[in-house]
């Protein structure tokens, strides 16, 4: 009998990952129904996680995770009925799912991939890498053309050049895709041998150059951060991870993102600036619980047009007008602060903390695993200072494939 090259569960996970990566393009060019894809996967992953709990019970991580999740949910709903801004259960439930589906994606994917062998994970990563090699090669060719000629893929001019959006709606959306690309290319280092290592490094460089072609500040910053981490983990192999470093990295990430904060929230009178301003106003007005789910800063709050927007005059802000909403969900932390107050903020931070701590502990036996997690952690923390990155499908796609970096025997978190 011939060697089995690809099992059924590998095919399922690989195809789900591919559709996740291309979701924005499928939604844009094929059908708007693809906008529901991340919700469908989130529900499936939640089911996988719940089945695991029913069959095997709770480990220490599960206990902390579920307690924090329930507290976040409970106090958020209490905020709804004390503030009396949004008491309709439909937008409350939709917004609740929007806020926490990223966690369902991760715990479900981790549970599913625990049954995969090292070889099965290797085959998935390699096939995803091959696909992304093709994608980034095509994008790079057009990025080079974009340097000399204005095309339909060109966007706003910066630094005397046209920024590059490829086939995304804008350069910012194209920039998002590199979180997934760089993560896959990085964990592929684990599985590369000899010549394939050089090939993978070549595409890492091509990807970074293409990322920079978006001419977004974060792209320049993240490319530098990536090269720095690559030097530490891959070339010098100097870094032994200590959790104290994570705190320092958080501080550095916030410092790196400070210029983004100034640009979007201080130096310009934008929708983002208004979200921050009135997010704190709402924080104080409904202290300490906030105004609850579906009331401020999220797409649901806009779709069901929150009374708070009229109260604060935000209905007159460009991009936030009723029925238009070009910038209706353009921030993350102002939404969390405004909707959930101090108590909800602490529980949400707690969820992010234990999930990322879990990731680092699961990957601590391999430097490349730490490298990949550390890089996307920095990307998401910095990006969240100016965008709603934790609500974005591409972030969900990264959380879906993160367990591929846990290529050693699983350990119990104490």
Domain boundaries, the chain: 8-260+344-405
pLDDT in tens, the chain (414 residues): 445 577 889 999 999 999 999 999 999 999 999 999 999 999 999 999 999 999 998 999 999 999 999 999 999 999 999 999 988 999 999 999 999 999 999 999 999 999 888 889 989 999 999 999 999 999 999 999 999 988 899 888 888 889 999 999 889 889 999 999 999 999 998 887 766 888 999 999 999 999 999 998 888 889 988 998 888 888 876 666 555 666 666 666 666 655 555 555 554 567 788 888 888 999 999 999 999 999 998 989 988 998 999 999 888 887 788 877 667 777 899 999 999 999 999 999 999 999 988 988 887 657 888 889 989 988 898 888 878 889 889 999 999 999 998 865 443 333
- Biggest CA–CA distance in the chain, Å, is 71
Question: 0.75 exceeded by the pTM?
Answer: yes
Is the N-terminal amide bond of 8 cis, ω within 30° of 0? no
Give the C-alpha separation, 82 to 71, whole Å: 16
The CB density around residue 270, as the number of other CB atoms within 10 Å, is 18
3-state SS string for 7-18: CHHHHHHHHHHH
Q: Tokens for 164? A: 């590059």
DSSP 322-356: TTT-TTTT--SHHHHHHHHHHHHHHHHHHHHHHHH
């Amino acid at each position: 009998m011939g060697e089995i090259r690809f099992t059924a569960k590998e095919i399922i996970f690989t195809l789900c990952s591919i559709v996740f990566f291309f979701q924005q393009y499928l939604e844009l060019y094929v059908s708007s129904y693809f906008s529901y894809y991340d919700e469908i996967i989130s529900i499936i992953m939640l089911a996988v996680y719940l089945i695991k709990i029913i069959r095997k019970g709770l480990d220490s991580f599960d206990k902390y995770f579920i307690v924090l999740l329930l507290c976040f949910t409970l106090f958020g709903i209490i905020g709804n009925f004390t503030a009396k801004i949004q008491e309709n259960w439909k937008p409350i439930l939709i917004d609740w799912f929007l806020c926490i589906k990223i966690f369902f994606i991760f715990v479900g994917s981790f549970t599913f991939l625990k049954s995969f062998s090292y070889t099965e994970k290797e085959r998935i990563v390699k096939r995803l890498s091959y696909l992304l090699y093709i994608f980034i090669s095509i994008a790079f060719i057009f990025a080079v053309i974009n340097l000399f000629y204005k095309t339909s893929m060109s966007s706003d001019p910066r630094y005397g050049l046209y920024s590059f959006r490829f086939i995304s709606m804008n350069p910012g959306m194209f920039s998002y895709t590199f979180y997934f690309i760089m993560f896959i290319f990085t964990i592929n280092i684990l599985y590369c041998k000899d010549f394939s290592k050089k090939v993978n490094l070549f595409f890492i460089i091509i990807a970074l150059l293409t990322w920079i072609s978006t001419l977004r500040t974060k792209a320049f910053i993240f490319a530098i951060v990536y090269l720095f981490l690559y030097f530490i983990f891959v070339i010098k192999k100097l870094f032994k991870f200590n959790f104290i470093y994570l705190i320092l990295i958080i501080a550095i990430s916030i410092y790196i993102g400070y210029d983004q904060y100034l640009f979007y929230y201080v130096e310009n009178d934008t929708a983002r600036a208004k979200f921050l301003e009135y997010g704190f106003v709402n924080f104080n007005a409904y202290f300490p619980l906030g105004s609850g789910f579906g009331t401020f800063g999220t797409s649901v709050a806009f779709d069901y047009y929150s009374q708070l927007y009229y109260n604060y005059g935000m209905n007159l802000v460009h991009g936030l007008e009723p029925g238009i909403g070009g910038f209706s969900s353009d921030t993350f932390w102002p939404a969390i602060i405004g909707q959930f107050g101090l108590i909800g903020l602490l529980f949400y931070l707690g969820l992010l903390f234990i999930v990322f701590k879990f990731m680092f502990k699961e990957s601590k036996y391999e430097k490349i695993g730490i490298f990949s997690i550390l890089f996307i952690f920095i990307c998401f923390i910095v990006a969240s200072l100016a965008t709603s990155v934790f609500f974005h499908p591409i972030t969900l796609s990264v959380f879906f494939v993160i367990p591929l970096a846990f290529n050693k025997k699983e350990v119990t978190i104490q």
